[in-house]
Amino acid sequence: MKIPFEKYTIYVTFDDDKIYELKEDFSKELVSEMNMSTPTNPTLVLHKQQLDVAKTFYKENSVNLDNETWNNYYKIGFITLQELNEFTTK
């Protein structure tokens, strides 16, 4: 999964009820609120909680995503190094 930084303002949420803007270098900037998505300034929101549910499904059903996707999830902070190794060595 290539993350479309050039097209979207990307926000991520973790388990701490805070919102972060994800930068192209995968750094995160805490924001007080997300900008409204518009046709000229679209936004994309990624929630760690959604991936947590999906990870269970992937494991139980032997679904494989490409290594780039798992590496990006790791860089974002959605999975641990151990999980990255588990998903990319299948």
- Whether residue 6 has pLDDT greater than 90: yes
Pull the structure tokens for residue 67.
Answer: 């290594």
- The separation between CA 52 and the C-alpha centre of its own chain, rounded to angstroms, equals 11
Pull the structure tokens for residue 61.
Answer: 């059903």
- Whether residue 90 has pLDDT greater than 70: no
Dihedral, CA of residue 59, residue 65, residue 42 and residue 75, to nearest 10: 80
Q: Mean per-residue pLDDT for 50-64?
A: 88
Q: What are the boundaries of each domain within the chain? A: 9-88
What is the length of the chain?
A: 90
pLDDT level of residue 1 (50, 70, 90 thresholds)? confident
